[in-house]
Structure 1
Amino acid sequence: MSKSVLFLHGLGGSGEDWKNAVSLFEKHGWRCEAPTMFPHLRCRKSPPEALNNLGFNDWVKAASHYANQIEEEEGDKPLVIGHCLGGLIAQKLMEYGDVQGGIFINPIADETTRAQGQKHSSALGYASYLLTPQANKTPFHSIGLNWGFLNCIPSEKRSELISNLRYESSRLRAELANLETIAGNTAQIDVHNIAHPTLTIGCGKNRVVSSKSSQITARNWLYADIAGEYVEFEDLGHWIFESAQASNLYSHILDWSKNHIKQPVFSHAA
């Protein structure tokens, strides 16, 4: 039995985005799971019409299933690390008690955060999704991607990254633009009485989820039974994975995780 971590990717992404983080964590003895959410629907080319039935609650349910499966297999709840949409879903897993700690990297703002003045900047950030044609031409608008998602990524790497992005549901995009439309108010995060450690990470050059938005998210987590922590990487943008600074971020979250997540409890036969 080993310490476990569940990595959750963001919009357009896949489990492959976490390959460098997974390699680092595995070298230090962690079991890593980095699933690609709904790969049969979220294709890179010509997605089925059924994709547009996927909503936010489907993502939350699937992520919760992955976390519960890890607990069944390992006997202990995992740490969850989420980026972008994965960062918002990771907060839901904390609220549901599915995990024993959470790290939220450039998390999409929940309803509470948006109510504290981030609705406009969030809408601006989502333009790279909302301006995308719904026809099966490209999964995202290339201008929005280059301006927002990939502004800190070398230009020679961008074409390959864009070609590897996956289509997202039009329903999901609409829900993220108007969180109050999500059934069950699941985009609201109640941080009270959560007795597990959290770390929110913002990036100073992020044009999709501003560092100010991440700071407000972290401020909300100060009201948990264990007050959340915040750190900012000034030279990183939204898409952290191919940045030269990503190794510094991964090292930081590994050190934080080793200090805040308990060791597995081993039972011995009598």
Structure 2
Amino acid sequence: MGHPVVLIHGMWCTAGHLAKVNDLLAARGYDCRSLTLPGHVAGPRQSEEVGALSIKDYVQAALAFIREQNFSQPPILLGHSMGGLIAQRVAAEINTAALVLLTPAAPAGINSIKPDVLAATFPVFSRWGFWKKPHKLSAERLRLYAANGLHFSYQDKLISSLVYESGRALSEIAFWWADGGHATRVPAGAVRCPVYVVSAGQDKLTPASVVRKVVARYPGATHRHWPERGHWVIDDLDTEDMVHEIDGWLRPILTRATREPIKVARV
């Protein structure tokens, strides 16, 4: 069995949206496990179930999922967008072989409200009580800000597959300075594994300028910037090349890890 990888999806998504990355890693011998976050299973009551969930709820669900797998070695964590933030929070609490962050949302202390981000989310923020209500990007805004650069027909498919997201989770990311619960805080020095970060030059949801500040949080982190790609790096024309590069980065790390004593997870 290959080294375990836990894949954590982003906002408005399910585990299925990481299928391409999952399959590409599995084909390279990794033992991939993808979870769907609480409240993200499509259904008639999905919007009600997700509306007021916190990033803390997502982190606890990811931790529980990992413990249920009963891995014999520390897993690799891979997160996209909001899932990248959740992965950082999880890696701060358990032993992790490596952390792979694909166009990640930023932890507390980094201002992520840039002009494109504000334009994409303004209809959400303009609703009174948005911090406790479910939301979803409109088709127009998804095309402009999340799926820019993807083929129009793929955008149609993506629009129909997205689910509602928690207003509370969004507010905790965007307005971390007002969150007394510190849901998005990653304590300095708590992440002790190797870190690989992907940014995209055409990303309008987690702009490259913000992702570079995430990279700076982790001394020695590897940063791969793709100038022509948008936010949806998990399923575009360059996804296979991206996964190939990630695999090349992981191999020597995992080889070194097999020569060291097995670490007990911090729980």
Q: Which residue of 2 aligns with 1:255?
A: 248
Q: Which amino acid in 2 is paired with 1:82?
A: G
Offset from partner CA, 1:174-214 (integer Å, 9 cap, x none): 32331234453231222426431001110111011111111
Question: Does structure 1 residue 130 correspond to structure 2 residue 124?
Answer: yes
Q: Which amino acid in 1 is paired with 2:16?
A: E
Alpha-carbon offset, residue 263 of structure 1: 3.9
Q: CA 1:98 to 1:60, structure 2 compared with 1: closer, same or farther past 3 Å?
A: farther
Distance 1:159 1:137 in 2: 21
Q: CA 1:137 to 1:159, structure 2 compared with 1: closer, same or farther past 3 Å?
A: farther
- DSSP-derived class of the 2:165 partner: coil
Q: Which residue of 2 aligns with 1:58?
A: 57
Q: Spell out structure 1 runs of 4+ moving beyond 4 A.
A: 131-134, 264-267
Distance 1:81 1:192 in 2: 19
Q: CA 1:181 to 1:68, structure 2 compared with 1: closer, same or farther past 3 Å?
A: farther
Distance 1:53 1:123 in 2: 21
Alpha-carbon offset, residue 44 of structure 1: 5.8
Alpha-carbon offset, residue 122 of structure 1: 7.5
Offset from partner CA, 1:29-78 (integer Å, 9 cap, x none): 21110111125x542655252322311110111111122333xx221110
Offset from partner CA, 1:136-167 (integer Å, 9 cap, x none): 99832222211100111111211110110011
Q: CA 1:264 to 1:148, structure 2 compared with 1: closer, same or farther past 3 Å?
A: farther
Distance 2:44 2:59 in 1: 24
Distance 2:60 2:151 in 1: 35
Further displaced range: 26-35 or 170-179: 170-179
Distance 2:250 2:59 in 1: 23
1:99 to 61, 83, 96: 96
Alpha-carbon offset, residue 172 of structure 1: 2.1
Q: Percent of pairs identical after alignment?
A: 18
Q: TM-score, with normalisation over the residues of structure 1?
A: 0.84
Q: TM-score, with normalisation over the residues of structure 2?
A: 0.85
Q: CA 1:32 to 1:89, structure 2 compared with 1: closer, same or farther past 3 Å?
A: same
Q: Which residue of 2 aligns with 1:156?
A: 153
The 5 Å alignment of 1:50-199 reads 50-70=49-69, 73-114=70-111, 118-121=112-115, 123-124=117-118, 127=121, 130=124, 139-192=136-189, 194-199=191-196
Q: Which residue of 1 aligns with 2:5?
A: 5
Distance 1:112 1:17 in 2: 28
Q: Which amino acid in 2 is paired with 1:30?
A: Y
Offset from partner CA, 1:123-145 (integer Å, 9 cap, x none): 526517726977x9983222221
Gaps of 5+ in 1: none
Paired residues of 2:10 and 2:80 also in contact (CA < 8 A): yes
Q: Which residue of 2 aligns with 1:219?
A: 216
Paired residues of 2:77 and 2:96 also in contact (CA < 8 A): yes
Over aligned residue pairs, what C-alpha RMSD do you find? 2.8
Aligned residue-pair number = 256
The 5 Å alignment of 1:200-219 reads 200-219=197-216
